[in-house]
């Protein structure tokens, strides 16, 4: 049976990197794409950044490929992550031969809690000059992340994981987060260590090879993954998967890059590698491996996009990846 994939380019370079990714996916497997809209442009036209039809398409599809949206992102991606109950955001960060990286030894995965923390959307304006935000942490979401992390380290041959937190300051919320994750790890016999997230930011910059799998609350995962992007060669390289029990949304870590949007020079690597994660989620492991290998050898040999010092445009990079795929 042909799986359906909801496709949301979003705004800006989403309209460049997503079509490039669809061409790559098309070259390796047969998928039915359902094209829907979300983001700033559709909000400007209709007043609604996330049309109901888009939510329905995402819920009905076997998986979703998402580009990036702009200022309406919080109104789009957060409800979509909820709609498919994606409780973890998987963000691998590694370097590639041929890509100039600050820290070439970096090879890690961030498993980010994806539903709560300070991104739970509980904000209030108490008066003109006073506002509050409620940080939501539940044992159930923290344990679910812990379970995922234990399965992930077992499946991928890792020794254990590091939990990033700040339970010396956010004693109640991060206290619950760390204790819940640690309980699950102990029950699975998985080794963990814990580290304050601010200290981790320094250590990540200085000694990224010390890290393998990082488990962290929502905002920390957002920030640490952008930091990791800086270590490996930029945001154009980092894919991500929002994984729920039955559905997934696959998206580059980067945003819609208004500074380069429309020029056709965005690096589609992050989106294409998100497509590879989508293929794996749909059990097309061989096709996913082929796409990864083709991206790697293209990055190594060129052509490369301007963010990596090259002069190729988005389409030329995608063409080079497609040329390196095995004949089907
Ligand atoms: P950004 O990721 O869009 O851009 C940051 C920098 O990285 C820019 O200089 C950009 O040109 C560069 N960059 C990003 N992706 C690239 C690629 N594929 N190839 C080459 N260069 C790339 O982050 P920024 O500037 O903070 O946000 C821009 C807009 O995107 C904002 O409206 C923000 O709300 C939105 N955003 C949306 C996200 C989402 O849809 N999930 C995630 C992050 C930001
Ligand atoms: Mg981010």
Whole-angstrom distance, CA of residue 238 vs CA of residue 328: 27
- At 171-218, the pLDDT tens digits run 999 999 999 999 999 999 999 999 999 999 999 999 999 999 999 999
Nearest ligand atom owner, CA of 39: 1
Residue closest by Cα to atom 33 of ligand 1: 70
Nearest ligand atom owner, CA of 74: 1
Residue closest by Cα to atom 38 of ligand 1: 255
Nearest ligand atom owner, CA of 230: 1
How does DSSP assign 165-191, residue by residue? Answer: E-TTTSTTHHHHHHHHHHHHHHHHT-E
Q: What is the pLDDT of residue 1?
A: 79
pLDDT at 328 over 80: no
| Vertex 106: Cα angle to 103 and 107 (nearest 5) | 165
Residue closest by Cα to atom 30 of ligand 1: 255
Q: What is the pLDDT of residue 147?
A: 98
Which amino acids bring their CB within 6 angstroms of ligand 1?
13, 17, 68-71, 73, 77, 235-236, 251, 254-260, 266-267, 270, 307
Q: Which atom of ligand 1 is nearest to the CA of 17?
A: 18
In angstroms, what is the C-alpha Rg of the chain? 19
- At 3-34, the pLDDT tens digits run 999 999 999 999 999 999 999 999 999 999 99
Residue range 137-145: average pLDDT?
A: 97
The answer to pTM > 0.85 is yes
Whole-angstrom distance, CA of residue 270 vs CA of residue 14: 11
Q: Which of 42, 119, 241, 256 to mutate to test the pocket of ligand 1 (most atoms within 8 A of CB)?
A: 256
Whole-angstrom distance, CA of residue 20 vs CA of residue 193: 40
Q: Which atom of ligand 1 is nearest to the CA of 253?
A: 42
C-alpha dihedral sign at 298, 301, 302, 304? positive
Whole-angstrom distance, CA of residue 317 vs CA of residue 304: 6
Q: Which of 228, 235, 295 to mutate to test the pocket of ligand 1 (most atoms within 8 A of CB)?
A: 235
Q: What is the pLDDT of residue 272?
A: 98
Identify whether 269 is preceded by a cis peptide bond (ω within 30 of 0): no
Whole-angstrom distance, CA of residue 177 vs CA of residue 315: 43
Q: Percent of the chain having pLDDT more than 90? A: 98
Kindly state the DSSP code that residue 234 receives in the 8-state scheme.
-
Q: Which atom of ligand 1 is nearest to the CA of 39?
A: 40
Residue closest by Cα to atom 11 of ligand 1: 257
Q: Distance from the CA of 258 to the center of ligand 2, in angstroms?
A: 15
Residue range 295-301: average pLDDT?
A: 97
* Upper half-sphere CA count for residue 122 (Cβ side, 13 Å): 10
Element (H, E) at 94: strand 88-94
CA distances, 160 to each of 93, 116, 149, 193 (Å)? 17, 24, 9, 8
Q: Which atom of ligand 1 is nearest to the CA of 254?
A: 2
pLDDT mean across residues, the chain: 97
Tokens coding 200? 């981790």
77 CB contacts (<8 Å, ≥6 apart)?
66, 69, 249, 251
Q: What is the pLDDT of residue 151?
A: 97
Q: In the structure, what pLDDT confidence band is assigned to residue 280 with cuts at 50, 70 and 90?
A: very high
Residue range 224-249: average pLDDT?
A: 95
């Amino acid at each position: 049976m042909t799986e359906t994939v909801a496709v949301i380019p979003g705004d800006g370079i989403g309209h460049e990197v997503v079509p490039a990714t669809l061409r790559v996916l098309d070259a390796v497997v047969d998928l039915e794409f359902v094209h829907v809209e979300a983001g700033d442009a559709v909000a400007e036209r209709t007043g609604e950044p996330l049309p109901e039809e888009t939510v329905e398409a995402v819920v009905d599809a076997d998986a979703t490929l998402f580009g990036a949206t702009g200022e309406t992102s919080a109104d789009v991606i957060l409800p979509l992550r909820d709609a498919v109950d994606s409780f973890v955001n998987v963000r691998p960060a590694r370097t590639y031969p041929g890509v100039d990286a600050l820290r070439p030894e970096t090879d890690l995965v961030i498993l980010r809690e994806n539903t709560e923390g300070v991104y739970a959307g509980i904000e209030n304006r108490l008066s003109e000059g006073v506002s509050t935000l409620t940080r939501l942490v539940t044992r159930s979401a923290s344990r679910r992340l812990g379970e995922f992390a234990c399965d992930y380290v077992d499946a991928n041959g890792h020794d254990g994981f590091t939990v990033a937190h700040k339970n010396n300051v956010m004693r109640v919320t991060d206290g619950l987060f760390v204790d819940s994750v640690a309980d699950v790890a102990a029950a699975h016999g998985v080794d963990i260590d814990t580290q304050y997230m601010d200290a981790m930011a320094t250590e990540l910059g200085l000694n990224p090879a010390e890290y393998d799998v990082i488990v962290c609350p929502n905002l920390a995962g957002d920030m640490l993954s952008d930091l990791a992007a800086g270590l490996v060669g930029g945001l154009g390289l980092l894919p991500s998967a929002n994984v729920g029990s039955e559905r997934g949304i696959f998206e580059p870590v980067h945003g819609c890059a208004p500074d380069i949007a429309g020029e056709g020079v965005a690096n589609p690597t992050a989106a294409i590698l998100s497509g590879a994660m989508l293929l794996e989620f749909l059990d097309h492991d061989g096709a996913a491996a082929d796409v990864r290998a083709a991206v790697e050898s293209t990055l190594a040999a060129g052509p490369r996009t301007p963010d990596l010092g090259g002069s190729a445009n988005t389409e030329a990079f995608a063409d080079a990846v497609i040329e390196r795929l095995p004949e089907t």
